[in-house]
Structure 1
Amino acid sequence: MDPTEYRPRPGEIPTSPGVYRFRDPDRRVVYVGKAKNLRARLNSYFANPSGLHPRTFAMVHTAASVDWTVVDTEVEALQLEWTWINEFEPRFNVMFRDDKSYPYLALTLRDEFPRAFITRGKRKPGVKYFGPFAQVWAIRETLDLLLRAFPVRTCTPGVFRRAQRTGRPCLLGYIDKCSAPCVGRVTPEEHRGLARSIAEFMGGNTGRFISARKEEMAAAASELDYERAARLRDEIAALEKVLDKSAVVLSMNADVDVFALVAEELEASVQVFHVRGGRIRGQRGWIIERLQELGPAELIADSLRQAYTDVEPEAIPREIVVDTLPADLDTVTAWLTEMRGSQVSIRVPQRGEKRAVMETVAKNAEQALQLHKTRRASDLTTRSASLTEIQQALDLAEPPLRIECIDNSHTGGQDVVGSLVVFEDGLPKKRDYRHFAVTGDAARDDTAAMYDVVSRRFSRYLESLVSAEPDERFGYRPSLLVVDGALPQVHAAVAALEDLGITDIAVVGLAKRLEEVWVPGDEFPVVLPRNSEGLFMLQRIRDEAHRFAISYHRKRRGRSMRASALDGIPGLGPAKRKALLARFGSVRRIRAASPEELAGAPGIGPALAERIHAALGPPGAAGGDTGEDPGSDTVGAEATAAEGSPDD
């Protein structure tokens, strides 16, 4: 779109600090930015197109509108910008991808009986994290050694409550790797002290724990308490072994995070070493997709936000060392200082130990980028080739970056369902998957069902265009719509779109028999080579839609089958059938129940209980009941939460 068509009037834009959003014609956010002066920054996007960077040029021509929010300070703008980037995931903003999923040692210090455990993923409030560790086995060994000196509980809440009820600790309590607070061997205060000791030790305050144990060991030996001295000796050895696993990089007892960036034209790599007490306590890295013209200073600023968003204040060190000072240094420093509660400094080391550590971190960043490129090359090349082949074969104006596929499933015309799967950039976007239950006249045949599903999906799209915010499920337009079937299904989909007034979406059908691609209006199909990457992509999308439809169909069919054996029993209406199933759980259990047990269900009298028992027959009687609940089928282990929200 021509930016002049949606450019705000200069007088409409305030000169205050704020955050702005560019949106595409579907009102999808494509870019989020912040500015000290909104008017000056936004006017720069609408300058002479020849002076814009190619990625900025693409962004402003992709967008169809821009809006903004005014804030009081630059720090607030920094925070709001990052919040919106995480919420909307704009395609033209810098995209961070962790190069691996890191394990952490976690302590639930706010619990009455704190627990130590190993975890990955999103951080939770009230839990203190240490790491990240490079390998999960390293953190398991570290935790095992720490438990010899600080035997805090590691069991789950369920195991802890069971031990409290039975009065017997678990195995770790018997082998002295847990102080067993569940059975009162230590008080809550003593156990909490052990957890705090782990936190202090992992935080870098290590010397006092080892020196105190050495003094106690000497005292125990002088008192001839050799058993206690031996135990203290083992604890000292365990703690020293934990320290040996952490490389010493600074002679001084310093807490510092060291960041290094290696950038190329399209991607960049960031690595950070978390140094506590002069030792490396954690390492983490990101791969950045450079979707706009950001230099090292801007990338480092975004990396700092990535690293310190949603962390505990004590996780932010007093000193942060970088290889390039971040853009908006004062704002970033003020933000980190506000989060930590005390002054934070960001600087570039020029010489000495910290400079040497910086060079080591930079080498790790460079190796991480090379490894990422090696792993991604074949996959990215294949996906790009697939989309290009589809574009050329179907004579599309551009590669279909968003492809949607619709399939229907039924058994003899019963329990008709439809599925919608979405692929973006050749990868499944499962949160946009949707189910459709097809009923009434729309369920009479495949073409009617296809017309119904396409109409419902794109009716919601049209509704989203006139709403204040886009529909998260149906608010985006695909570049290509694929239907499972040949010309009849394709024509039904095209008719549904035309009846809605939509004529700018390409529609094709993929027939299973010969894997032919049917284009509306063409007498003969498009036949892609059997080894075509484009054909493989279409097959994968069609098969995913088929799998998703079958999963939902089985679930609905199971629901109807579960109650079918109860149909036709005189006096047993829907409410009483529901009461029976609620009480017994399945037809198998109902069949196995005696008349007296059946009469215990709400609304079931003795006479009706006898009729039910006689109608169902003994367990194992005809009716296809296998003893399992057919209605318990799930969509699949790989399905997302969004998949469980059918549009009924």
Structure 2
Amino acid sequence: MADPASYRPAAGEIPTRPGVYRFRDRDRRVIYVGKAKNLRARLSSYFQDPARLATKTRTMVFTAQAVEWTVVGSEVEAIQLEYSWIKEFRPRFNIMYRDDKSYPYLAVTMNEQFPRVQVMRGDKRPGVKYFGPFHPAKAIRETVDLMLRVFPVRTCSAGVFRRAQAQDRPCLLGYIGKCSAPCVGRISPSEHRALAQDFCDFMAGDAGRFIRELEKAMASAVEDLRYEDAARLRDDIAALKRVFERNAVVLAENTEADIYAFHSDELETAVQVFHVRQGRIRGQRGWVMERVEDVDDAAMVQQLLQQVYGDAADEDVIPHEVLVPVLPEEPEETAAWLSGRRGSRVHIRVPRRGDKAELMDTVRQNAEMALSLHKSRRTGDLTARSAALKELQEALELDEPLLRIECYDISHSQGTNVVGSMVVVEDGLPKKSDYRRFNVTGEAARDDTASLRDVLRRRFARLAAERAEGAPLTGQVEEGDDDGARRFSYPPSLVVVDGGPPQVAAAVAVLVELGLDDLPVVGLAKRLEEVWLPDDEFPLVLPRSSQGLYLLQRLRDESHRFAIAGHRKRRSKAMTESALDGVPGLGPAKRAALITHFGSVAKVRRAGVDRLTEVAGVGPKLAAAIDAALNPGTGDAALNPGTGRAEAAGSSSAGAEAGDADEEAGPSSAGAEAGADG
């Protein structure tokens, strides 16, 4: 740990204007981001007597080795820049309120000839009608499943729709009555669009009209003694009422608001939000996060609103009204920032009485229960992870705690399509955003150890270069100087390779070559699950019940899975390209169109000349060339007039069919999986 006095800037160097600052550790990681109306006053507070600092703040300033700041023009700009840096660097000493997923919406693609109902995330598209936000996404799918009884709108993807059109056969939903099957002409485009519009009208709140129409139809069916029709209509009415009840009105129908509440203890905070649209609760969402910085309720609300609405830019994500338990630190600036992102006025309020205050109390109770449930579930998991990390650290006799572990594996098939994988565990949990794959080619692909050396050299070269540059300077930086590319170069506490002494020796040789010999390396051999250390004649054998061994096994298996997935993808692409390579007149675009249209090379092979011409840009001459390339050895046979395929006289097509089936099943077969295990 560094003494804060070693990197404390002189007071006269720090401006008194608004700005954003960030603390970095010895590996140039950004570990904390903050903003201030007066940078000099705020930064000076971190370098006072350490005994007067809060525990977590003291840990942060002693972990850091540099501080940088950027001056901005206003406090609103500081809010935006602080959010951008927190999102990019995800500093360990900042509270992170949200996951990586955007809000799910129920969307109807009215911009298509045959509108489709689906769950969508991300930026909104023109011509698509959205309802929500909903959370969890499971709630949307349950709602859609109920509504398809009455409004059987298409829900399939474009590929499934085209396949059904080509085969003139609907999918399963068409057979069970949950799709009107426009793909096979059971309903005209105009009728299907009217059905989709009724779906949208119901979701927009006009439910009573449809329920009344169904009730009249049911009464008429009973009068005509059509009891089966009446029973079906009764079930349809019940389904719509269940959907309608889920969206019961809780506030005035013109209310568009997000209602937040949180519950905290010394270590963690649980946040809950209810999304109210048109007076109805459309969705609920929550987070539980560690309190890694000491902030009051106003600062927590400030950071919460920044992180939740930082990427939002429309009125459905940012509502007209945001209700919070306490006002943020800078309520006027925060409201102005939200208004700018929404494009119209946003109000931030604390409800004191009435229906909104009662609903906020409900949200607060949800936050209390969420924190209690989280603690009860996490106790066992946290204890096991902590025990595994501590046990592994003691077994390997390491001085530093195992905060970050990286594991490497190589996958190939008989030396071809070699792929290396890197998986990462931080604090005992997978960090999938840091996973990487490496395609290995040339001389490096001659064997496993050479491939491993190539992967490790590529992974650690940047870290070695940055260490050679020395520590960063403390002082003012420009806003664009964000160092985002450095995130990949953080050093691990432990490097794990899949294998025994040869693989460990290869890894150590690369690290020594790069000047990173301080990084510990171990190998985990599959046969007896032995842990191999560098230069040790005998392996370290951990007990079969060891939590540390379990952790290494899970990490090794995950790297193995990740490598095989990358290898299969690369092998499949290579098979596709090699099969269609060299066909005169067939470029990348037409090759991709063929695969998209038929689904696989095997299906292209079976299509025949006539069906190949269905693809745009493929004429009879090119279709014949493609068919000849995919079906060699049949050129001297008579052409089958029914299919356009060449068949040898007296031969059966069963062998060719079997061969095609084998090719399709190959990537998922047991033999292929074994072959991919490098």
Instruction: State the TM bucket, normalised to the shorter chain.
Output: 0.7 to 0.9
| Aligned position for 2:615 | none
| Aligned position for 2:301 | 300
8 Å CA contact 1:484, 1:510 repeated in 2:
yes
Q: Secondary structure at the match of 2:363?
A: helix
The alpha carbon displacement at 1:24 in A equals: 3.0
Cα separation, 2, equivalents of 1:295 and 1:576: 68
Selected match of 1:493 from 498, 507, 511:
507
Q: Which structure exhibits the higher relative contact order, with contacts defined as CA atoms closer than 8 Å and separated by 6 or more residues? A: 2
Cα separation, 1, equivalents of 2:608 and 2:192: 50
8 Å CA contact 1:273, 1:284 repeated in 2:
yes
8 Å CA contact 2:18, 2:78 repeated in 1:
yes
| Aligned position for 1:376 | 378
Relative distance call for 1:179 and 1:487 in structure 2 (3 A) is closer
Q: Secondary structure at the match of 1:32?
A: strand
| Aligned position for 1:385 | 387
| Aligned position for 2:494 | 480
- 1:46 partner amino acid: F
Selected match of 2:431 from 426, 429, 432:
429
Deviations 1:147-201 (A, max 9, x none): 96x99876756788999999999999x999989998464798x899767745652
Selected match of 1:544 from 540, 543, 558:
558
| Aligned position for 2:258 | 257
- 2:367 partner amino acid: A
Cα separation, 1, equivalents of 2:569 and 2:161: 37
Cα separation, 2, equivalents of 1:591 and 1:610: 13
| Aligned position for 1:92 | 93
| Aligned position for 2:22 | 21
| Aligned position for 2:328 | 326
Relative distance call for 1:488 and 1:239 in structure 2 (3 A) is closer
Relative distance call for 1:353 and 1:107 in structure 2 (3 A) is same
Q: Map of 1:527-606 to 2, 5 A cutoff?
A: 527-552=541-566, 601=625
Cα separation, 1, equivalents of 2:247 and 2:322: 20
Selected match of 1:336 from 317, 338, 341:
338
Cα separation, 1, equivalents of 2:566 and 2:523: 22
| Aligned position for 1:457 | 459
Q: Secondary structure at the match of 1:96?
A: coil
| Aligned position for 1:639 | none
| Aligned position for 2:407 | 405
| Aligned position for 1:119 | 119
Q: Secondary structure at the match of 1:326?
A: coil
Matched, 1:59 2:60: yes
Q: Map of 1:46-85 to 2, 5 A cutoff?
A: 46-85=47-86
The alpha carbon displacement at 1:588 in A equals: 12
Matched, 1:505 2:519: yes
Q: Map of 1:81-160 to 2, 5 A cutoff?
A: 81-97=82-98, 104-108=105-109, 111=111, 115=115, 117-119=117-119, 121-126=121-126, 128-133=130-135, 136=138, 140-141=142-143
Q: Secondary structure at the match of 2:353?
A: coil
8 Å CA contact 1:26, 1:470 repeated in 2:
no
Deviations 1:259-311 (A, max 9, x none): 21111122111112233454433322222222211222222223333443415
Deviations 1:446-472 (A, max 9, x none): 544444433333224324557984646
Deviations 1:209-260 (A, max 9, x none): 8599999x99xx9xxxx9xxx9x99999998765543445447864443221
Deviations 1:493-528 (A, max 9, x none): 222211221122111222233322222244443222
Deviations 1:531-581 (A, max 9, x none): 011011111222233344445556667788899999xxxxxxx96899899
Relative distance call for 1:234 and 1:526 in structure 2 (3 A) is closer
The alpha carbon displacement at 1:17 in A equals: 2.0
Cα separation, 2, equivalents of 1:550 and 1:112: 38
8 Å CA contact 1:105, 1:117 repeated in 2:
yes
Q: Quick check: 302-311 or 78-87, which moved more? A: 302-311
Cα separation, 2, equivalents of 1:448 and 1:79: 47
The TM-score with structure 2 as length reference comes to 0.71
Q: Secondary structure at the match of 1:33?
A: strand
Cα separation, 2, equivalents of 1:634 and 1:466: 45
Relative distance call for 1:79 and 1:634 in structure 2 (3 A) is farther
Relative distance call for 1:68 and 1:103 in structure 2 (3 A) is same
Q: Secondary structure at the match of 1:15?
A: coil
| Aligned position for 1:366 | 368
Identity of aligned residues (%): 49
Relative distance call for 1:421 and 1:96 in structure 2 (3 A) is same
- 2:438 partner amino acid: H
8 Å CA contact 1:507, 1:520 repeated in 2:
yes
| Aligned position for 2:284 | 283
Relative distance call for 1:177 and 1:496 in structure 2 (3 A) is closer
Deviations 1:19-74 (A, max 9, x none): 22333333333222222222322232233332322222232333333333332222
8 Å CA contact 2:259, 2:274 repeated in 1:
yes
8 Å CA contact 1:99, 1:368 repeated in 2:
no
Relative distance call for 1:524 and 1:292 in structure 2 (3 A) is same
Give structure 2 stretches of 5+ with no counterpart.
225-229, 470-480, 610-619, 638-647, 671-678
8 Å CA contact 1:118, 1:140 repeated in 2:
no
Give structure 1 stretches of 5+ with no counterpart.
567-573, 637-648
The alpha carbon displacement at 1:140 in A equals: 4.2
Q: Map of 1:438-457 to 2, 5 A cutoff?
A: 439-440=442-443, 442=444, 446-457=448-459
| Aligned position for 1:526 | 540
Q: Secondary structure at the match of 1:66?
A: strand
Equivalences, count: 600
| Aligned position for 2:476 | none
8 Å CA contact 2:114, 2:189 repeated in 1:
no
Cα separation, 2, equivalents of 1:633 and 1:363: 50
Cα separation, 2, equivalents of 1:167 and 1:443: 47
| Aligned position for 1:40 | 41
Relative distance call for 1:132 and 1:444 in structure 2 (3 A) is closer
Cα separation, 1, equivalents of 2:633 and 2:668: 32
Relative distance call for 1:192 and 1:48 in structure 2 (3 A) is same
| Aligned position for 1:571 | none
Cα separation, 2, equivalents of 1:153 and 1:505: 55
8 Å CA contact 1:417, 1:552 repeated in 2:
yes
Cα separation, 1, equivalents of 2:243 and 2:328: 35
- 2:432 partner amino acid: K
Cα separation, 2, equivalents of 1:138 and 1:564: 43
8 Å CA contact 2:584, 2:625 repeated in 1:
no
Q: Quick check: 451-460 or 375-384, which moved more? A: 451-460
The alpha carbon displacement at 1:411 in A equals: 6.1
8 Å CA contact 1:561, 1:630 repeated in 2:
no
- 1:61 partner amino acid: F
- 2:498 partner amino acid: D
Deviations 1:110-157 (A, max 9, x none): x37795734264453445332425674576447855996x99876756
8 Å CA contact 2:29, 2:487 repeated in 1:
no
Relative distance call for 1:329 and 1:145 in structure 2 (3 A) is same
Q: Secondary structure at the match of 2:489?
A: coil
Considering only aligned residues, what root-mean-square deviation do their CA atoms show, in Å? 5.5
Cα separation, 1, equivalents of 2:634 and 2:120: 56
Relative distance call for 1:138 and 1:504 in structure 2 (3 A) is closer
